[in-house]
Chain A
């Protein structure tokens, strides 16, 4: 039987101002009817370009050669008319960022029916009916109302469902999903993957699932291809690739993923309390509406915890939970509107500006985006030296240079790179620079705000190891913020789960992962994907319905305590169910 899609020896080259870039080298693959092919690779592996090129969507300066057959017919180099007939009809695509991938000035409904009216020549009224049906299928409530809305009025999860609806409405044979869940929260990702799974079983649609996340692939794919630097290094059934990988790169990828089987660090003798946060509140005024009706955005709504010396506190939550705001408020980089922050016995609210600046030696922060957190016009050595020069102005230039070099060496950077610029280094190397900069003043506490989230999996593992080593060497305390529960698990002694600015569960890591009590924690853990196909297929999922409520909605806090909805200002209590294990009230 002819395969649906057959790509043979595909080559994609780009002519850029800096020379020729070979994005895809001699790639070949086959997709059959109703099968799901997972294509895995890190950034720069060419996995997206492969499919874009196959269907004529590369940028103008790209050159494609090789063979692409759809149902036996060669489509590479076909006329635009032929390709247009295929795209959007029999073969559809879903992209990574639904906000920028939907036309901002067109109503959602019009965008969905567009492909239908053009390809299948369905009259508009009938098309609208089909659109409503498909919106119901992807579980968007109030489909008629939603169709009249614009993309920016919908949440991230809903937008992605709209994209799926757009891609499904013409009844395609093949859907190409390019990192469809990467930009979404974990619980929303779980929902979207459910929909894709349903498409495969209900409608027998073939899916090409492109992702850097092995866990996503494990749950969906029948067959897997692993790509690196434009080449396909391994291909086979999902079971083969995951359980008996032949290529060393595949093995490295699989090894880098934090495993559930590894125990988290034990809660051993931790020292005295360093940081005490008591009922911290951070509120932002938000103007919405015509005559500036100011609403209050409660980004952090009463969070309390204690951090001891040498301990790592993991902070997890999805968008809008306030974890980043919390970190910044603790470090006094954002204004707090209530509560207390006590550092080594000193109340930080009472501290003056110059006191604070002196204290900055004690706590430092590493940011999420390695490139954005470094001034592109300064060589990395200068960026690293900056806190040192600001907080210890008396040092001589020679001693500053010495310290910079040793700080660089300590994080695994070649000290001779001291004059390199950030754009000359990779993401992982830039993140090491960020660490060097944070560590150079010898802080007692380090806040890592999604410090590894923007990195490839293999690099993530290295940086996490580096942080562990630094902690072991210096007795550092860490607040490790992430949306990725499996990464947090590797480092944390205790874990705190935030939801819309409040703590819903706080426990030692073993207790949290082994015996989660709060429904939100359970949903989060259930949404964590393991790179183990059998486990993923068999998993019973605890899904949350709908999207995350808006932090502006005052009733949102009672999502898990619906019995108290009649008292909308009530905040769920934090109860200590077992010693050291705190859980918020829930139904």
Chain B
């Protein structure tokens, strides 16, 4: 059974099925996640193609048709605006194109702010996890202290100070979410560090940098990915919250948060102003949640 050490011809090498392939397979079997990905893709597409999809500009004001329902609106409405699929807003702008532009802004905020939180969180968490010991203890104490602070308040103060700077909005929101990311990355790094295959690599003479690059990072990516997909909806919600208070996106730019906030004011007389942006936002957030849950189950199946 034990062959002697002769050189063998390279026989058919069987390709193994990696853990990533397994995970991908499981993810694609999850119908909710797949539906989420498709719908999200559609929304993103619409957002990107926004200017091409409507004859109206997003800031085109028209005082003749303020707060008018779309022509197909089934309920009695004060006025109708033919040609505007979603109706018009309080100053006669086309709601459809505004929803799509709002999609651009909201998705952009979502992605960029999440990226910011990802960068800060991963660096912080990986450093704390890898260095371990007292430095880790100190860094995590800081995270613990910051975790129970109502960060929003500081974001609000920041927005007031810097006069609602657009870029700052991204950074500030990202700075709110990095804490959990840091915790997750640190937790994963710590548990990987203790695994025997890390010790085996050290015994095999691999340098610490090599260990981080080839062993730690690939094993940390999974949970991080899951958390990223679940952070985006939180960020979008935070932005909409700020916009509602008047501290977020400023005119004439718009986001879903702004649209919903305006729509909520007009809810009794022009419910379509609230309905369409709220619908878009809710559906998008759902998609992210389904994808995130699907990823989590795919990478770490527990319900057996």
A252 interfacial contact with B, CB 8 Å: no
Question: Could you tell me the distance in whole angstroms from the C-beta of A397 to the nearest C-beta in chain B?
Answer: 13
The stretch that binds A, out of B73-81, B142-150, B198-206, B284-292, is B198-206
Q: Which residue of B lies closest to A61 (CB)?
A: B304
A153 interfacial contact with B, CB 8 Å: no
Q: Mark A376-396, 1 if CB is under 8 A from B, else 0.
A: 111110010011001100000
CA distance A365 to B196 in the complex (A): 11
CA distance A377 to B19 in the complex (A): 6
A4 interfacial contact with B, CB 8 Å: no
Q: A61-B304, A406-B8, A466-B2 are in contact. Are A375 and B197 (CB under 8 A)?
A: yes
Q: Mark B166-181, 1 if CB is under 8 A from A, else 0.
A: 0000000000000000
CA distance A349 to B219 in the complex (A): 33
A437 interfacial contact with B, CB 8 Å: yes
Residues A386 and B203 in contact, CB atoms below 8 Å apart: no
Q: Which residue of B lies closest to A470 (CB)?
A: B2
Q: Which residue of B lies closest to A373 (CB)?
A: B196
CA distance A441 to B304 in the complex (A): 41
Q: Which residues of A contact B10 (CB under 8 A)?
A: 405
Q: A367-B199, A410-B2 are in contact. Are A419 and B16 (CB under 8 A)?
A: yes
CA distance A374 to B202 in the complex (A): 12
Residues A387 and B204 in contact, CB atoms below 8 Å apart: yes
CA distance A225 to B260 in the complex (A): 71
CA distance A16 to B3 in the complex (A): 37
Residues B197 and A374 in contact, CB atoms below 8 Å apart: yes
A416 interfacial contact with B, CB 8 Å: yes
Q: Which residue of A lies closest to B20 (CB)?
A: A377
A364 interfacial contact with B, CB 8 Å: yes
Q: Which residue of A lies closest to B210 (CB)?
A: A390
Q: Which residue of A lies closest to B14 (CB)?
A: A416
Q: Which residues of B contact A405 (CB under 8 A)?
A: 7-8, 10
Q: Which residues of A contact B207 (CB under 8 A)?
A: 357, 390
Q: Mark B1-44, 1 if CB is under 8 A from A, else 0.
A: 11111111011111111111000001000000000000000000
Q: Which residues of A contact B197 (CB under 8 A)?
A: 372-375, 383
Residues B1 and A379 in contact, CB atoms below 8 Å apart: no
B193 interfacial contact with A, CB 8 Å: no
A246 interfacial contact with B, CB 8 Å: no
Residues A420 and B14 in contact, CB atoms below 8 Å apart: yes
Residues B205 and A333 in contact, CB atoms below 8 Å apart: no
Q: Quick one: which of B11, B13, B206 contacts A386, CB cutoff 8 A?
A: B206
Q: Quick one: which of A17, A380, A383, A469 contacts B2, CB cutoff 8 A?
A: A469
What is the count of residue pairs linking A and B with beta-carbon distances less than 8 angstroms? 115
Q: Which residue of B lies closest to A380 (CB)?
A: B16
Question: Could you tell me the distance in whole angstroms from the C-beta of B250 to the nearest C-beta in chain A?
Answer: 46
B164 interfacial contact with A, CB 8 Å: no
Residues from 204 to 261 in B contacting A, C-beta threshold 8 Å: 204-207, 210, 214-215, 218-219
Residues B200 and A421 in contact, CB atoms below 8 Å apart: no
Number of B residues with CB within 8 Å of any CB on chain A: 39
CA distance A41 to B268 in the complex (A): 72
B301 interfacial contact with A, CB 8 Å: yes
Residues B206 and A390 in contact, CB atoms below 8 Å apart: yes
Residues A416 and B12 in contact, CB atoms below 8 Å apart: yes
Question: Could you tell me the distance in whole angstroms from the C-beta of A347 to the nearest C-beta in chain B?
Answer: 20
Q: Mark A231-260, 1 if CB is under 8 A from B, else 0.
A: 000000000000000000000000000000
A417 interfacial contact with B, CB 8 Å: yes
CA distance A362 to B7 in the complex (A): 24
Residues from 131 to 184 in B contacting A, C-beta threshold 8 Å: none
Residues A17 and B26 in contact, CB atoms below 8 Å apart: yes
Q: Which residues of A contact B202 (CB under 8 A)?
A: 333
CA distance A361 to B20 in the complex (A): 32
Residues from 8 to 41 in A contacting B, C-beta threshold 8 Å: 16-17
Q: Which residues of A contact B301 (CB under 8 A)?
A: 17
Residues from 405 to 462 in A contacting B, C-beta threshold 8 Å: 405-406, 409-412, 415-421, 423-424, 434, 437, 441
Residues A333 and B199 in contact, CB atoms below 8 Å apart: yes
A360 interfacial contact with B, CB 8 Å: yes
CA distance A434 to B205 in the complex (A): 15
Q: Which residue of B lies closest to A365 (CB)?
A: B203
Q: Quick one: which of A333, A369, A378, A402 contacts B203, CB cutoff 8 A?
A: A333
CA distance A364 to B205 in the complex (A): 10
Residues B18 and A390 in contact, CB atoms below 8 Å apart: no
Q: Which residue of A lies closest to B219 (CB)?
A: A377
Q: Mark A326-365, 1 if CB is under 8 A from B, else 0.
A: 0010010100000000000000000000000100110011
What 4 pairs across the A-B complex have the smallest Cβ distances? A387-B204, A420-B16, A360-B205, A373-B196
Known: A360-B205, A405-B10, A409-B8; 5 extra A-B contacts, CB below 8 A, are: A373-B197, A377-B18, A386-B204, A419-B13, A420-B14
A-B contact pairs, 18 of them (CB 8 A): A16-B304, A333-B199, A357-B205, A360-B204, A360-B205, A365-B203, A376-B19, A380-B16, A386-B204, A387-B205, A390-B205, A391-B204, A406-B7, A415-B11, A416-B12, A417-B14, A423-B19, A424-B16
